[in-house]
Amino acid sequence: MSGPVYLDYAASWPVHPRVAETMADCLGPEGPHANPSSSHAEGRRAAQVIEQARESVAALIGAAPKSIVFTSGATESDNLAILGAARAGRDRGRHLVTSRIEHRAVVDAFRQLEHEGFEVTWLRPGPDGRVAPQQVEDAIRPETLLVSVMHGNNETGTVNDVAAIGTACRVRGVLFHVDAAQGAGKVPVDVEAWNADLVAFTAHKLGGPKGIGALYVRAQPRPALQPLQFGGGQERGLRAGTLATHQVAGFGVACELARADLPEEERRVRGLRERLWAHLQTVGGTWRNGSAEASLPGILNVGFAGIEGESLFLALDGKVLASSGSACNSASAQPSHVLRALGLSDLACQASLRLSLGRWSTEADVQRAADAVAEAVARLRSLAPAAALERIR
């Protein structure tokens, strides 16, 4: 293969061919083209397609189908969970808890709530990037309404012990929200075992289409949520708007495929990632951001001494498609808020590169990418001042 190596799965996956086929069938002249809210036969056929997909989506995370609310993606799911729960429960308490390494969809939602008069406790993770359950326990107060801690970090891949955090919240009667956009479909997810009340995830991070996601809303007891949009009362009154049948169907198939292949794919991708890390260590002056043990299988965040990450990113363009951080922050020149929360200097943050693997990654990809990175790093270091190699955390 002569094209660039795609190592940006944490940003988005290629759509699986079976998903694309399912969506095309829905869009064809004989497909379920009617409005799924219509009561006639074709409307009921479209609604049946959606409910079958809902079952597949729910099965991926160990949930009941009735607890799945379809949204436009994880960002909307996070916003509906956080803003919806806080605004619905503001008479019971206005204290919220989250961490400094959350996705911007979560961070910005909490910033908005601060503007609305809520108080937010921002937890700082340990050097390995994990938020300790004890930190959450210590932060909870009698007036705490909601805790939000992500499952797997989108920049470092570090995984939090959300089950222990969920138990601490459940014992204290506090709602618990989890952003599981990176973990769903790559590692086992069991929302019941997590004691989670609200869990957000999305299709395009596991081989489905962009523009469709889901929010798990615990059925019993069901948390009160204030909708963000209003209209036809779809999705049990939580998310108005006509559902895109083809996208929902594609999401369902993507979840089925991920669930069937999960054990084998988790082992395979984790093995590829460790081989990539082993190759990159031979470059010298490298370090790994986040936890190597408690981590998602496909994400590797590496720092290179003496290198400015954006320069490396540009040097690899056309050879390796990766990221200098979260894709959602690509327009910002600011250092990663995640890496800064881990205690890295601005220079160390800027010297870091996120490489992420997935379903279509191969051993040949790993070798080609490692060779390209090594060559680019060597060339950039040859152009840098000698003291630049001292720029390590």
3-state class (DSSP) for residue 225: coil
N-terminal to C-terminal alpha carbon distance within the chain: 36
Rg value, the chain, Cα: 21
Q: Annotated catalytic, 328?
A: yes
Residues 6+ apart with CB under 8 A from 80: 69, 71, 215, 225, 227, 228, 238, 239
Count the neighbouring beta carbons within 10 Å of the beta carbon of residue 99.
Answer: 27
* Chain-centroid distance, C-alpha 233: 28
Of 184, 207, 182, 201, residue with least CA distance to 22: 207
* Chain-centroid distance, C-alpha 38: 34
Q: Please tell me which residue in 26, 169, 328, 349 is annotated as part of the active site.
A: 328
Count the neighbouring beta carbons within 10 Å of the beta carbon of residue 221.
Answer: 7
Q: Are the CB atoms for 148 and 96 separated by under 8 Å?
A: yes
Report, as residue numbers or ranges, the catalytic residues. 328
